[in-house]
């Protein structure tokens, strides 16, 4: 933990600072944390269980968050999400699940929706909840 990991190769030919050149301007990364949750500061109060989409990243609040105060979004773990219902909406274990932000439900429809993760419990069309292992 906390170790810097160099990016690029182990020396070689090329200009200083180029990846793989071993030059003096090699970039490094620094481990920050495991990544099960990420920092998030909402613009308005939001309750626990709210799904938040930021670009391609889908997270959920685990506790109530206050406006303009640093909190976090869970981006890993197993969560029960509201599920789309109706004919053909059943999800099976191992299938990909997507967040339909317009309808605020998980669905198997990828088009226009954001990936949440994989289903870990089979559902039927009438189910209103689906259990998903989040993965980004």
**pLDDT for position 26:** 78
Give the global pTM: 0.77
**pLDDT for position 96:** 98
Structure tokens at 25: 């301007």
Domain span at residue 71 reads 37-76
Structure tokens at 121: 């419990």
Tell whether 66 and 85 lie within a shared domain: no
Tell whether 117 and 102 lie within a shared domain: yes
Length, in residues, of the chain:
136
Confidence of residue 1 (pLDDT cuts 50, 70, 90): very low
Tell whether 55 and 84 lie within a shared domain: no
Distance separating alpha carbons of residues 40 and 54, to the nearest angstrom: 10
Residue 58 C-alpha from the chain's centroid: 4
What is the maximum alpha-carbon separation in the chain?
A: 62
pLDDT digits (tens, 9 = 90+) for 33-82: 899 999 999 999 999 999 999 999 999 999 999 999 999 999 999 999 99
């Amino acid at each position: 933990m906390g170790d810097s990991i160099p990016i690029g190769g182990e020396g070689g030919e090329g200009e200083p600072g180029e990846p793989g050149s071993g030059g003096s301007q090699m970039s490094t990364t620094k481990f920050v944390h495991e990544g099960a949750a990420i920092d998030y500061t909402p613009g308005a109060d939001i309750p626990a269980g709210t799904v938040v989409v930021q670009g391609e990243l889908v997270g959920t609040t685990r506790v109530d968050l206050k406006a303009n105060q640093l909190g976090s979004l869970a981006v890993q773990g197993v969560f029960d999400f509201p599920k789309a219902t109706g004919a053909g909406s059943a999800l099976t274990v191992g299938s990909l699940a997507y967040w339909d932000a317009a309808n605020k439900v998980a669905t198997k429809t990828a088009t226009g929706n954001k990936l949440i993760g994989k289903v870990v419990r089979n559902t039927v069309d009438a189910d209103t909840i689906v259990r998903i292992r989040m993965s980004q």
